[in-house]
Structure formats: structure tokens, C-alpha cells
Amino acid sequence: MTSQEPASAIIEIDRVSQVFQTSARKDHLALSDISLTIEEGAFVSILGPSGCGKSTLLYIVGGFVNPTSGAAKMKGRAITGPGPDRGPVFQEFALFPWKTVLGNVMYGPRQQGVRTAEAEAQGRALIEMVGLKGFENFYPKELSGGMKQRVALARTLAYHPEVLLMDEPFGALDAHTRTRLQNDLLNIWERDRKTVLFVTHSVDEAVFLSDKVVMMSKSPGRIRQVIDIDLPRPRRRNELLLDPRYQKYVVNIERMFDESDEAGAPT
Amino acid sequence: MMSPAVLTRRAAPVLACIGLLAVWQIASLALKNDSFPTAVEAVRAIPDILGDKESLTNILDSLRRMAIGFGVAVLVSIPLGLLMGRSRTVAAFFNPLLMVIYPVPKAALMPIIMLWLGVGDVTKTLVIFLGVSLPVIYHSFEGAKAVEEKMLWSGAAMGLSPAQRLVRIVLPAALPEILTGCRTGLVLALITMITSEMIARQSGAGNILFNALDMGQYDTVFAMIIIVGAMGICLDAIFERIRARLVRWSEPQFDMPLSFS
């Protein structure tokens, strides 16, 4: 490993492998020998083609999936299951459809014993922060995809997880909504700089958001390279798109993926 | 003021009933058969039945058995169905059992149950219970199976235990499907109620109906059919109201304007 062990490591992934059984009863190696350290307060993207196991890696950190071998640790303690210190945001939103926007956002704090009045006040503030003031009493089915994902983000932020686990959160949204949510996510993140683990297959998205991009390749899922994104913050989209350093990161990463495709694909 | 469209929609069921009675009346007059009284004769017999204290007690006894059978079935079947939907072990145990019971007409089990438990309330209520249980278990099972995994993960991250997830996520998420099963169950409760009273005559609405048939009181037979039918329609309508209120969050919005003409 080239990077030295940082003192402020919050998540350590240590030689994690994941084997799935396919329907044909054959073993499929989804993740092979992954080791990765994530520093506290960093915005880290896991970037790779579909099927490279990047979401599985996120689920292992979340404690939703147990790795076949190896281990993941949160602040030095082995991850054995889900917990409120790691808050997921899924591509599918996974809102509680029988709860209103406010009900969804209050759910976690209420579960943790926060008094109703207090949870409601915090919930309303969060809903305003994600730009949904006025929609407190709407049900999820009445909202657009972008609005649903804003609710999902607020619902997770409401119980103050130390790490945000975002699983292609903007993958189901149209391009315009996607860029708006990326901007808003960065603005929210700038306030308290929580650790974020962000899974995506979009190179622009990964470079725009992250301090560090973990490039993965598939079959089996491996880490190819970890790239530090050395761009100033706070980042503004309109400035960044014109910045040659940003463009260089995007072009280089895309080129690396293209090369591996050509080498691996039997065209 | 109600708009003509709303008025038509409200009046439609009433018109359908009047139409049905009219067809009946004409058919009866045309056939001139003793065992086929006219609609007017049948409707006229209704107050006599409802005014008779013994008949009324019989009908209320039926309703009581139905309510108990339905209630107990729902209370047992929903948790069982939900557990089956979320646990492969529970499903593996109960699925074959239910597959065997499912196609058997519950009334066909009555002779055995009567042999063991007699011809009283317990037997009849048990048959209603069996009739209601299967659709409710099946729909609860399907509903629980369809609950999005990520929704449960979100709950787990908030600190909900597996039992809490079952009650506070699986149950509400599956509620629309569960209530569909309960609605089927309610109609089946009525059917098994009458059937059980037909087999084990002693009391109840079914008893009045088949006694009247034996004695050739055909207007009473038809009047009882109307009463039982009306009970079914009312119960279903009440249940549908409750159901719609409970799962308003999942219903598609029909009242959205489709055009602005």
C-alpha cells in the first residue's frame, strides 16, 4: 500500500471477499480481496461499472451483508450488523410509504427515544434544509423522484449517523434533477463534513463530489486504483466544469476504464 | 349541489337493484311457478322475518359466530402470514400444510368437526375460522414477501430489532395486500356461516332459510336470500370504507383531473 495508515481512519476494510451463489449453482466472486481505509470527514466515491460489486462493498460497511471472508471495521470495532452510526441512502429511496414526509424524517429520532416535539422541530428544520418546506404532510407517492431522494437524505441525516452510505442515490433521476441534487448534497455536506461513502458509476459525479475516488474493475470486483481528487472546496459546478484540473481527472479516469474494457472485452 | 355525473354514480347501484327486482317480478309472473314467488311477495315477507323475535335472535346468533370466526381468523392469520413471508423456515413448515388444506372445501370438514365438537357454536365458528384464515394468510404472506429489502435495511440502520421491523415496517407496508385478503375473507365468512348452518341445523339465518324450504314457504326462502345478500353487501361496503381509509397512502389518485376542458 502506498498510503500511510492515517490516524483518523473511521472505516477500515480488511481483505474482504464476497462469494455469491448464482442460480446455476456456480460460485461468483463478487468482491476479491478488498482493502480500503476511509478517513474521518472524507467524501469517498466508489466508482465502477455495473456488476463490479461496489454496492455490495457498501452493504458490507452498512452491516446489511456479511462478507464471505475478511472484515470491515468502524472506529476499530468489527461491523456485525446495521447501526445508527452508519446511515444508508438507497437508489430506490426506500421511504416508508405509509408515513408522510415529516413522519419519515421523524422515524429514526423517535426510534432512538427523542421526544416527539423535539423530533418534529428537528424534522421540520431538516425538511427545509433539503428544500422541501411546505411538503411536510405529503405522502411519498405524491412526490417526484428527486423529492423522494431529498426526503430519504433528510430521514437519514435526522438520526445523525457518523457515516453516510450512499448507494447510487441519484442513479434513478433525470440529468437535471441529478445535478441539482449533487449541488445540494455538497452544500449540506460542507456544513458538517460527515464522512460519506458514495457509490456511483458516473465519472463526473465521482470527481465533482469526492476527495478520493476508488476505481473498481469487475469479474472479480477489485480495487484498481485510488485517486485523490485535489480540487478546491467549496466546489461550484459552473466553475469546476471549466477547470482544466477537473477535466483532466475526468478524462484520465474515463481513459483508464476504456483501456481495461479493450483489454478485457472479446470484441 | 351534486353534479349530474356524481348523481348518476350515486344512483347507479340503486337503479341496478330496482332493475334486478323488476326482471325477477316479470320472470315470476311469466313462469307462474309456486316455488318462484314474485319479488313483491318476497320483499313483503322481509318485515315478518325481522319482526319475529325468534328469527331475529337466529340472525343475530349467525352474525355473532361470523364476527368471532372472522375476528379470531384475522388475529391468527395476519401474524402467521407475515412470519411466513419473512422467514423461509416458517414458510417451509406451513406452506405444505396449507397447500393440503387450501383446496378442501371447509364445509366438507364439518362432519368430522361435528363428530368431535358437536353441532353447537364451536363447530360453526371453527368452520368460519377455517374459511377466513386461508385467504388472509395467503395475502399476508404475499404482502410480506413483497416488502422492499431496502426499506427493512433502512429500519435496521435506525436500530429497529427484527421483531420491531415485522410489526412496524412489514405490517404497515403489507397492509394494502392484507386488507385485500381480509375483504375476501369477509365474504367467505358469510358463505361458510350459511353453509355451516345448512349442515348443522339448529339456529341461525341458514337454519331459517332451509327450514322454510322444507316447509315450502318459498316467499320466506327468497326473503332470507335477500336479507343474507343485503348483509353481505352492507358488511363489504363498511369494510371497504375502513380499508380505503387505512391505506389511503397507497391508493392511486382517481380524483385527479385528467383534462381541463
Residue B253 is predicted with a pLDDT of 59
Of A82, A92, A156, the CB nearest to B156: A82
- Is residue B140 a part of any domain in this protein? yes
**Contact assignment for A88 to B173 by CB distance below 8 Å:** no
Judged by average pLDDT, the poorest of A154-158, B120-124, B180-184 is: B120-124
Residue B107 is predicted with a pLDDT of 79
- Is residue B22 a part of any domain in this protein? no
Residue A249 is predicted with a pLDDT of 97
What interhelical angle do A101-111 and A145-157 show, nearest 10?
20
| C-alpha–C-alpha distance, residues B234 and B232, integer Å | 5
**Would you call B142 helix, strand, or coil by DSSP?**
helix
Of A96, A111, A139, the CB nearest to B151: A96
Residue B6 to chain A, least CA–CA distance (Å): 25
Judged by average pLDDT, the poorest of A94-98, A170-174, B74-78 is: A170-174
**Contact assignment for A90 to B250 by CB distance below 8 Å:** no
Residue A261 is predicted with a pLDDT of 67
- Is residue B257 a part of any domain in this protein? no
> Quick one: how many helices (H) and strands (E) in chain B?
11, 0
Q: In this structure, are residues A20 and A30 in contact, taking their beta carbons and an 8 Å threshold?
A: yes
> Residue B159: which pLDDT band, with cuts at 50, 70 and 90?
very high
> Residue A259: which pLDDT band, with cuts at 50, 70 and 90?
confident
Residue whose C-alpha cell is 427515544 = A113
Residues in A closer than 8 angstroms to B162, CB to CB, are none
Residues of B at the A interface, defined by Cβ within 8 angstroms: 148, 150-151, 153-154, 156-160, 169, 172-173, 175, 247, 249-250
- Is residue B28 a part of any domain in this protein? no
**Mean local confidence (pLDDT), A49-76:** 94
- Is residue B15 a part of any domain in this protein? no
Of B153, B169, B249, the CB nearest to A88: B153
Residues in B closer than 8 angstroms to A88, CB to CB, are 150, 153-154, 157
Beta strands in chain A (DSSP E): 9-21, 27-39, 43-47, 69-74, 77-78, 86-90, 163-167, 195-200, 212-217, 222-228
Distances (CA, A) of B42 to B28, B80, B176, B219, B221: 11, 44, 39, 5, 8
Residue type, A158: A
Closest CA to A101 of A145, A129, A142: A142
CATH of the domain at B158: 1.10.3720.10
Residues in A closer than 8 angstroms to B256, CB to CB, are none
**ipTM value of the model?**
0.92
Evaluate if residue A1 carries a pLDDT over 50.
no
- Is residue B4 a part of any domain in this protein? no
Residue A202 is predicted with a pLDDT of 94
Distances (CA, A) of A34 to A18, A74, A197, A217: 9, 16, 15, 12
User: Residue B78: which residues within 8 A CB-CB, separation 6 or more?
Assistant: B136, B140, B171, B178
> Quick one: how many helices (H) and strands (E) in chain A?
8, 10
Residue type, B206: G
Question: Counting Cβ atoms within 10 Å, is residue A258 exposed (0-12), middle (13-18) or buried (19+)?
Answer: exposed
Residue B14 is predicted with a pLDDT of 86
Using DSSP bridges, classify how beta strands A77-78 and A69-74 pair: parallel, antiparallel or unpaired.
Answer: antiparallel
| C-alpha–C-alpha distance, residues A255 and A257, integer Å | 5
Closest CA to B123 of B209, B195, B225: B195
| C-alpha–C-alpha distance, residues B85 and B146, integer Å | 8
Say what percent of chain A tops pLDDT 70: 95
First to last CA, chain A: 34
- Is residue B256 a part of any domain in this protein? no
**Would you call A174 helix, strand, or coil by DSSP?**
coil
Q: What is the total count of domains within chain B? A: 1
- Is residue B132 a part of any domain in this protein? yes
Residue A26 is predicted with a pLDDT of 81
Evaluate if residue A206 carries a pLDDT over 90.
yes
**Contact assignment for A94 to B175 by CB distance below 8 Å:** no
pLDDT digits (tens, 9 = 90+) for B41-78: 899 999 999 999 999 999 999 999 999 999 999 999 99
| Residues of the domain holding B50 | 38-248
Residue B35 to chain A, least CA–CA distance (Å): 53
